[in-house]
A and B are shown apart, each in its own frame.
Chain A
Amino acid sequence: MPLKALDYESINENVKKTQYAVRGELYLRASELQKEGKKIIFTNVGNPHALGQKPLTFPRQVVALCQAPFLLDDPNVGLLFPADAIARAKHYLSLTSGGLGAYSDSRGVPGIRKEVAEFIGRRDGYPSDPELIFLTDGASKGVMQMLNTIIRGEGDGILVPVPQYPLYSAAITLFGGSLVPYYLEETANWGLDVDDLRQSVAQARSKGITVRAMVIINPGNPTGQCLSEANLREILKFCYQENLVLLGDEVYQQNIYQDERPFISSRKVLLDMGPPISKEVQLISFHTVSKGYWGECGQRGGYFEMTNIPPETVDEIYKVSSISLSPNVPAQIFLGLMVNPPRPGDISYEQYVRESKGILESLRRRASIMTDGFNSCRNVVCNFTEGAMYSFPQIRLPPKAIEAAKRAGKVPDVFYCLKLLEATGISTVPGSGFGQKEGMFHLRTTILPAEEDMPAIMESFKKFNDEFMEQYEDHRGYSRM
Chain B
Amino acid sequence: MRKSVAGKLRKALELSFQHNRRFLSSSHSRFLSSTPVVFDSATSTSMADSSSSSHASPPLSLQTINPKVLKCEYAVRGEIVTLAQRLQQELQEKPGSHPFDEILYCNIGNPQSLGQQPITFFREVLALCDHPAILDKSETQGLFSADAIERAWQILDQIPGRATGAYSHSQGIKGLRDTIAAGIEARDGYPANPNDIFLTDGASPAVHMMMQLLIRSEKDGILCPIPQYPLYSASIALHGGTLVPYYLDEASGWGLEILELKKQLEEAKSKGISVRALVVINPGNPTGQVVAEGNQRDIVEFCKQEGLVLLADEVYQENVYVPEKEFHSFKKVSRSMGYGEDDIALVSFQSVSKGYYGECGKRGGYMEVTGFSADIREQIYKVASVNLCSNISGQILASLVMSPPKVGDESYESYRAERDGILSSLARRAKTLEDAFNNLEGITCNKAEGAMYLFPRINLPQKAIKAAEAVKEAPDAFYCHRLLNATGIVFVPGSGFGQAPGTWHFRCTILPQEDKIPAIVSRLTDFHKGFMDEFRD
Contact = CB atoms under 8 A, between A and B. Distances in A.
Interface stretch (A3-11, A398-406, A425-433): A3-11
Interface stretch (A102-110, A119-127, A250-258): A102-110
A310 B2 CA distance: 51
A104 B361 contact: yes
A421 interface: no
Contacts of A297: 165-167, 388
Nearest to A63: B130
Contacts of B344: 5
A381 interface: no
B359 to A, nearest CB: 4
A77 B137 CA distance: 12
Nearest to A296: B165
B139 interface: yes
B373 interface: yes
Interface string A311-353: 1111111111011111111110000000000000000000000
A12 B209 CA distance: 11
Contacts of A60: 130-131, 133
Interface in B448-464: none
B25 interface: yes
A131 B215 contact: no
B212 interface: yes
A373 interface: no
Interface in A63-98: 63-65, 67-74, 76-77, 79-80, 90, 93-98
A458 interface: no
A357 B460 CA distance: 67
A298 B59 contact: no
Contacts of A174: 212, 383, 386
Given A150-B59, A212-B59, A64 B69 contact: no
Given A5-B309, A8-B373, A111-B23, A70 B4 contact: yes
B379 A11 contact: yes
A55 interface: yes
A179 interface: no
B72 A319 contact: yes
Contact of B139 (A64, A76, A300): A76
Nearest to A299: B391
Contact of B387 (A3, A49, A141, A318): A141
Contacts of B127: 64-65, 67-68, 71
Interface residues on B, range: 35 or more
A324 B5 contact: no
A22 B387 CA distance: 11
A299 B201 CA distance: 11
Given A80-B137, A170-B386, A316 B112 contact: no
Nearest to A112: B23
Interface string A47-58: 111101001010
Interface in A269-288: 280, 282
A228 interface: no
B95 interface: no
Interface in B89-142: 108, 110-115, 118, 120, 123-124, 126-128, 130-131, 133-134, 137, 139-140, 142
A308 interface: yes
Contacts of B393: 67, 298-299, 328, 330
Given A57-B133, A297-B167, A100 B20 contact: no
A26 B134 CA distance: 37
Interface stretch (B300-308, B466-474, B483-491, B500-508): B300-308
Contacts of A203: none
Contacts of A282: 58-60
A295 interface: yes
Interface stretch (B6-14, B181-189, B279-287, B437-445): B6-14
A245 B60 contact: yes
B134 A99 contact: no
Interface string A1-27: 011111110111101101110111000
Interface in B150-178: 160-161, 163-168, 170
Interface stretch (A152-160, A189-197, A217-225, A364-372): A152-160
7 contacts: A15-B382, A71-B143, A99-B112, A174-B212, A299-B392, A322-B76, A324-B204
Nearest 7 Cβ contacts at the A-B interface: A3-B307, A110-B23, A329-B361, A64-B131, A298-B392, A102-B113, A68-B127
Given A50-B161, A140-B387, 5 more contacts: A45-B388, A60-B130, A103-B360, A315-B30, A316-B62
Interface of A: 2-8, 10-13, 15-16, 18-20, 22-24, 45, 47-50, 52, 55, 57, 60-61, 63-65, 67-74, 76-77, 79-80, 90, 93-104, 106, 110-111, 114, 130-131, 137-138, 140-141, 144, 148-153, 155-156, 167, 170-171, 174, 210, 212-213, 243-245, 280, 282, 295-300, 308-320, 322-331
